[in-house]
């Protein structure tokens, strides 16, 4: 009788998409070398550590952070809680995860679908991009309005109106994020938007 870990259907494609996004994936597991090697071969993954204790995972994350890397940790067990807390962003599985790991994480995958990860990263990056564009637009608009007001080209009321118009533009542009199309794992979910994702986040974009 032969026993082996069975991968989730979306796992390999998720890893490949993460590679395309410039994300380096590493498997940290308490299993032995044979089990870890088998999983990595199935995932086409070259980086892994086996026979890991909870402190080994935390130490590995700390080493990567010392190299100025931003680290996201995905885990589900009680022993993953320290690593989830130490990582720049901790991602927990809701259904199979322990309460301790969920509490330690920044992001919780409600349906345990790791296929949401590429879209989560893409939407986080787009959010940061949107914030930067909004800040730049607001600064340019307000500074221009101030200069024009000082030069007497526009009156204070017109300056205030320009400021309010700028605020409305920023709100509308930010609202477009609701319809941001997901980076999907299959053709059936390519058109899923951010509002349809089954995730819970609090501080998840800080690692990008």
Tens of pLDDT along 171-186? 999 988 887 765 444 4
pLDDT category of residue 159 using cuts at 50, 70 and 90: confident
CA distance 56 to 85: 14
Q: What are the residue boundaries of the structural domains of the chain, listed by start?
A: 11-115, 117-198
Mark out the alpha helices in 51-155 (DSSP H runs): 54-66, 81-86, 99-104, 117-150
Residue 77: band (very low, low, confident or very high) from pLDDT cuts 50, 70, 90? confident
Element holding 163 (H helix, E strand): helix 156-175
| Whole-angstrom distance, CA of residue 184 vs CA of residue 12 | 13
pLDDT score for 132 = 96
Which CATH fold would you assign to the domain 11-115?
Rossmann fold (3.40.50)
DSSP string, 2-71: ---PPPPTTHHHHHHHHHHTTPPP-EE-SS-HHHHHHHHHHHT---EE-S--HHHHHHHHHHHHHTT---
Q: Is the pLDDT of residue 17 over 50?
A: yes
List, in order, residues 6 or more apart from 170 with CB less than 8 Å away: 134, 137, 138
**pLDDT (tens digit per residue) in 123-143:** 888 899 999 999 999 999 999
21 against 204, higher pLDDT:
21
CA distance 14 to 157: 53
Q: Each residue of 164-173: pLDDT tens digit?
A: 999 999 999 9
Output 99 or 138, whichever has higher pLDDT: 138
């Amino acid at each position: 009788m032969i026993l082996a870990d069975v991968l989730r259907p979306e796992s390999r494609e998720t890893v490949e998409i993460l590679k395309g996004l410039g994300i380096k994936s590493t498997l940290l597991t308490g299993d032995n070398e044979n089990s870890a090697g088998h999983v990595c071969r199935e995932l086409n993954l070259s980086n892994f550590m086996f026979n890991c204790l909870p402190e080994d995972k935390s130490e590995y994350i700390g080493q990567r952070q010392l190299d100025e890397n931003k680290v996201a940790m995905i885990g589900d067990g009680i022993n993953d809680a320290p690593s989830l807390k130490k990582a720049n962003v901790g991602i927990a599985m809701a259904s199979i995860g322990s309460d301790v790991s969920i509490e330690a994480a920044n992001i919780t995958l409600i349906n345990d679908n790791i296929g949401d990860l590429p879209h989560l990263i893409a939407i986080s990056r787009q959010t940061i991009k949107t914030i930067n564009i909004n800040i730049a637009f607001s600064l340019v608009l307000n500074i221009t309005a101030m200069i024009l007001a000082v030069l007497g080209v526009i009156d204070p009321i017109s300056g205030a109106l320009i400021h309010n118009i700028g605020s409305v533009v920023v709100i509308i542009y930010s609202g477009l994020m609701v319809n941001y199309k997901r980076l999907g794992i299959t053709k059936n979910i390519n058109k899923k938007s951010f509002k349809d994702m089954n995730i819970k986040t609090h501080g998840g974009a800080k690692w990008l």
